Amino acid sequence: MTTSPYIVSARQATPMSHRPVGQIYLPRQDSTSLEFMKAVFTGQKQVIRSQEVPHVHVPAYPELSMGKLWDFAASCKDIAPYLPDIPGHQRKMPDRQFFYGIIAARTPEILHTMIVEAHEKRYRAKLARQEEMLPV
């Protein structure tokens, strides 16, 4: 696994908003639908043990918004089985910490790359603006 300052192992830090519920990692109660729980109990959806989910710090960049990454995550065979199905007309997503926790647990390299690329893009744009402001 790639070492990342954005992803800390579950043994080092446990996300405070996600207490273990019978040792499985679930979204907060207010963002967990009955349909998702039915899918978990019937085996249509999978769950991860809380110990497998690292603590994640994802910057609040527009490039990393859940709305922009949802289609990718829902189509990824490593991530989709752990996320609730969201009908097209209903865009109520699970909470942010759960979403990125699942991605970090199943595809940490991809999450790290997305964060680094978004940060570099933002940093390059900031440097370009500063260079434009410098007198010649």
> pLDDT tens-digit profile of 34-85?
888 899 999 999 999 988 999 888 999 998 998 889 889 989 999 999 998 8
Residue type, 38: K
How far is it, in rounded angstroms, from Cα 24 to Cα 125?
A: 41
How far is it, in rounded angstroms, from Cα 104 to Cα 91?
A: 22
> pLDDT tens-digit profile of 77-119?
999 999 988 766 566 778 889 999 999 999 999 999 999 999 8
Q: Is 11 exposed, middle or buried (0-12, 13-18, 19+ CB in 10 A)?
A: exposed
